[in-house]
A and B are shown apart, each in its own frame.
Chain A
Amino acid sequence: MELTTILFYLFSAVTLGAAAVMVFSRNIVHSAFALMFSLIGVAALYVLLHADFMAATQLLVYVGGILVLILFGVMLTNQGHNTGFRAGSVNLLPATLLSVTAAAVLIYAFVTADWAITDAEGLTETVHPLGMMLMGDYLLPFISAGVLLLIAIIGAILISTKLSDRSENSSEI
């Protein structure tokens, strides 16, 4: 067995195991940390797919950004000492049925489909071509994404501070 094969099974096990811990854990902080391991496993899978720039982006944006944001959300919306980060499950039976059905149908479709696989040897380097594409064919989506991120930042600040301002004003009146 080759090293990449072993690494693939190792990292897919890490990804899926951490995702399962995230879903079935009762403590929401444990869930957030399990999500971190799952995201790191996904980044490793990207490396195995010869997508080095995507792997770096995954680490920077997801593990460095979104996960910290989620942990902030967990801490700021902490229900206090009485619940202690608990997050129970409801609707377990229908949820299990639906997700197992979804997985079965998807896997059946994926395995039986006749994909047009080309035996490409994988690009050795993706950063340079990706940059050329971003500045060429994908210039408009790239700039729109920048504008979207700006709008999202402003919107997030407005949404998360507006209420407290208004309540202060109304209490003064």
Chain B
Amino acid sequence: MNLQILLSIAEPGLNHFLIVSALLFSLGVMAVLSKRNVIMVLMGVELILNSANINLIAFSRFTALSLEGQMMGLFVVILAAAEAAVALAIVLNIYNRFNTINLDKISTMKG
């Protein structure tokens, strides 16, 4: 039953967008967990934020959430921009100090 829903080439409904966003989220988690380059981890975080945004906007299209969902998505984009700017400044600072951006080698504060 569920498999049929997944496999049917149907007109895209709410579930289709939610599945795309779930797959995008899992790819973002994969990038965050398996990469040791700080910038790759940041790109994974951007993927995760985008998947959350797809969810918000899909719900705003298909449910009674209406435009409120798009408004939340707008604020997510604003926060993502601020986060990226500050995070990359921190990465540049780390690179100046440690001369590496490998997460496993930045371990000064490790007990």
Interface residues of A (CB under 8 A from B): 1-2, 4-5, 8-9, 12, 15-16, 19-20, 22-23, 28, 31-32, 35, 38-39, 42, 45-46, 48-51, 53-54, 57-58, 61-62, 65-66, 69-70, 72-74, 76-77, 79, 87-92, 94-96, 98-100, 102-103, 106-108, 110-112, 115-118, 120, 122-123, 126, 129-130, 133-134, 138, 141, 145, 148-149, 152-153, 155-157, 159-160, 162-164
- Are B84's CB and A159's CB within 8 A? no
For B62, what are the chain A residues with a Cβ–Cβ distance below 8 Å?
115, 117-118, 120
Interface core residue of B20, B36, B44, B73 (most chain A CB under 10 Å): B20
For B93, what are the chain A residues with a Cβ–Cβ distance below 8 Å?
159-160, 162-163
* Minimum CB–CB distance for B57 against chain A, Å: 5
Q: Given the complex of chains A and B, what is the CA–CA distance between A138 and B92 in angstroms?
A: 35
Q: Given the complex of chains A and B, what is the CA–CA distance between A49 and B82 in angstroms?
A: 26
5 CB contacts below 8 A, A to B, read: A12-B20, A19-B28, A58-B77, A73-B92, A160-B88
